Structure 1
Amino acid sequence: MVKSRSLASLVLLSLLAACGGGGGGGSQVVATNPPVSNPTPTPPTPTPPSPTDGNIVTTVPAPTYLPGSGNLNVFNAINALRGKIGSGLLAQSLQLDKSADAHWSYINQNGIQEVHGETAGKPGFTGVRAGDRIAAAGYNAAVSGEAIYSTNGADKYASCVGEWANSVYHVALLFASTIDIGVSANNFTPASGQSTLCVVDIATSTTQSGQLPGAGSIRAYPYANQVDVPYVFFNRTETPTPVPDLTEAGTPVTVSFETRSLAVTTPIAISQFTLTPAGGTAVEARILVNKGGKLGPVIATNGPALTDDQQLLGFAATLVPVQRLKPGTVYNVSLIAVVDGKTIDKTWSFTTAAQ
């Protein structure tokens, strides 16, 4: 998804590469597109709200999506989760709506096979990459990203956001420091039959600064006291496939160390990151991090084994249980890490859905 720190450094940072689905037999995508920067910026529409509470946006204008529409469902679901996590809300952008609609229409006419890419000359073509399409819609993006999910059946808009959340790579949508969002979520009829297709474009313009929490903050998904959390992750439906040696996995737990003040050059050391069922012992799990520091600081270990994954956000760590979790069970997460020279010791719990 998107890494941003300040207006000056936005264009230097890459987007997360991922495509495929996180679970439930669908297809979900977070695009990899170089940031778009134009020499004569024009502000997106509508004007975004002023960030509050340490640069976190807590209120946004009511969107113009029709009541009961897939667009409104997806918009509200994303912002509800981002609010719970502490990532800040995203404001509707009519220009990002336009780019999302254009790619939805392209897929509807040409099929899901190309997913993010478009081919010049085909019906509905507006740009090869998501960044191109966002620019064509008139949005001058410093950073941008795209998420796509499709599933068989009608009116399953809530599952779009749920599947993005229950993943290793696509959960980045919930942690991105972007400001604006555009949504196109409708039913379409591919050759394989009736499906629901959700396309989401997110971005920060060249006139904006990304939103991030204050120093010492840790954001996590699943969040504290969350209920009805999925207990299985079908990792092989996400592309690139995380932990590819596993047939399936338990629900991933992702934490983001990124704050407004944390520098890219500041190393992070993890001392403990465990997931334990109430009254039980810690589950066997892989801890995935982006060790290289290309998208953030170097993440090292003070004890637990870390698996390098260059697809992850640079400020994040994701714990992936090697087996599905137990349904209807309280799980406790324990995280100890040294961040910016200070020890962070955090515990929280969530409850998996009943079988």
Structure 2
Amino acid sequence: MLRFFIFLGLLLVSLEASDEKAGLEYLNSIREHAGLIKLNNNKNLQKAATSHAKYLIQNQHNGHYEKKGKYAFTGATPSQRVIKAGYPSTYIMENLSINTVGYAKSIDNLFSAIYHRFVFLNLDKDEIGFGVASTKKKRKIKRAYVYNIGSSRVSKLCKRSFSMANGVYYMKNICKQSSKMVPKLLFEEKIDVIRRKNRDIVLYPYNGQTDIWPAFYNESPDPLPGYKVSGFPISLQFNPAYYKNVKLKSFSLYNEDGKEIKETMVLQHKNDSNHLFTKFEFALMPLKRLEFSTRYTAFFEAIVDGKRVKKRWSFSSVNPKENLYRITEEKTNLTVPSGSEAVLYIVPNSKKDIIHSYRSRGGIKVSFLDQNTLKVRFPKRRSSGRVSLDLGKKKVFFDVQ
């Protein structure tokens, strides 16, 4: 019943109430735009999430499992940790991200990773707990965000007592007492109550969404083995409360000029190598990065319970406020204003072409936006020929005016 995933991004503290509230509001705003109900805060789930975030920082570990005997250990698995924190059910999901700064960036990064996205867009959960911990020390893992998501309806079932009856199917391993038997039909009814509060078809990015980051990098488990960089996934989910059988006909993506993005892979239940997609989940995975400042339109067609269903929707990638330079050559010369900032998009030459490091000269300040995109701040003085950025295979020279 448990699904959990990890996302790797680039003084120990706990998540303050104001931050937790802001994070919940941000996540719920995305869910509502996608047609899903809000998740309610649950203190027990929050306690479990916070304890695991502290464990990750203290032990410099990434992942969902804890080792007994380690500092801040509260349970080997997410289900054990939520039970110890007082949550009555093991019917939970866990998301986490490492080394992202701020709840919004953490949530955005998790939405770029398709398995993590489906956790946040889950149709049968209605409550969540946030946890974060960080350190000011020079460590490989400096910040960890953890999200535990559960079902209030299932939790209430776990607080009830049931008498065994002939002809009734029962479930176990979903409550604090693993041997507790819950009628399967009643469990499914409670799950269905939450599902029916959500939209019948869930799109992401949702129609009209803006500021979508154009790239996807890594996720564990990996939906695109062999790819270190690709494009932002586009997904569609059918709500099983309303549909029974879905047969995909087509899933495609076009840019604002009407040109189809040809290099894509459509993931679904029958070809997901990690066996995590349900038969109601579909994702179009662009095999190359999408472009900045571009409007895209997705088309989806399927036969659903014997009827043809078509969906068409659009979204836009982020438009950087700074000047954007698209770097494709081994040597590039740019003229830039002194004291200005710019975004350099180093276009990948292959599915494994990412930036690991850089060397700068001339007093410029550089920071990573992602593994192919850099933000550069130029000195306020004029300079020509001495300001440069060495990216290994590619070099950029700046004439600062």
TM-score w.r.t. the length of structure 2 is: 0.64
Contact 1:213 1:259 in 2 (8 A): no
Bigger Cα Rg: 2
Query: In 2, Cα distance between the equivalents of 1:123 and 1:186?
Result: 14
CA deviation profile, 1:118-139 (whole Å, cap 9, x unmatched) = 1112221111000000111111
Partner of 2:126: 179
Q: Taking CA–CA contacts closer than 8 Å with sequence separation of 6 or more, which of the two structures ends up with the larger relative contact order?
A: 1
Structure 2 residue 233 is the aligned partner of structure 1 residue 252:
yes
Counterpart amino acid of residue 289 in structure 1:
Q
1:247 positional shift: 3.1
Structure 2: how far apart are the matches of 1:74 and 1:312?
26
Which amino acid in the other structure matches residue 91 of structure 1? Answer: N
Q: Which amino acid in the other structure matches residue 222 of structure 1?
A: P
Please tell me whether the aligned partners of residues 157 and 196 of structure 1 are also in contact (alpha carbons under 8 angstroms).
no
2:259 aligned partner: 281
Which residue is 2:135 aligned to? 188
Please report how far the alpha carbon of residue 244 of structure 1 lies from its aligned counterpart in structure 2 after TM superposition.
Answer: 1.4
Aligned residue number for residue 169 of structure 1: 115
Cα separation, partners in 2 of 1:194 and 1:182, compared to 1, 3 Å: same
Q: Which residue of 2 aligns with 1:232?
A: 215
Structure 2 distance, partners of 1:16, 1:131, is 10
**Aligned-partner Cα distance in 2 for 1:170–1:133:** 20
Flag the 1:118–1:193 CA change in 2: closer, same or farther, 3 A. closer
Once the two structures are superposed, residues 219-252 of structure 1 have per-residue CA deviations (whole angstroms, 9 ceiling, x without a partner) of 0110000001111111xx2112222132311110
1:309-324 equivalences under 5 Å are: 309-324=274-289
Instruction: Return the structure number with greater strand share.
Output: 2
Letter in 1 for 2:119: L
Relative to structure 1, the CA distance from residue 78 to residue 271 in structure 2 (aligned partners, 3 Å threshold; closer, same or farther) is same
**Aligned residue number for residue 50 of structure 1:** none
Residues 314 and 123 of structure 1, relative CA distance in 2, 3 Å threshold? farther
Unaligned runs of at least 5 residues, structure 1: 1-13, 27-63, 292-305
When the two chains are superposed, the root-mean-square deviation of aligned CA atoms in Å is 2.3
Change (3 A) 1:215 1:190: closer
Give the alignment partner of residue 212 of structure 1, picking from 171, 185, 195: 195
Residue in structure 1 matched with residue 167 of structure 2 by the alignment: none
Distance 1:117 1:308 in 2: 22
Contact 1:258 1:316 survives alignment (8 Å): no
User: Are the structure 2 counterparts of residues 215 and 353 from structure 1 closer, same or farther at C-alpha, using a change threshold of 3 Å?
Assistant: closer
What is the CA-CA distance between 1:256 and the residue it aligns to?
A: 0.5
Partner amino acid, structure 2, of 1:128: A
SS at match of 1:171: helix
**Structure 1 residue 17, shift from structure 2 partner:** 4.9
- Percent of aligned positions that are identical: 25
**Contact 2:3–2:94 at 8 Å: present in 1 too?**
no
Count residues in correspondence.
278
Name the counterpart of 2:336: none
Gaps of 5+ in 2: 158-189, 321-401
Are 1:221 and 2:204 an aligned pair?
yes
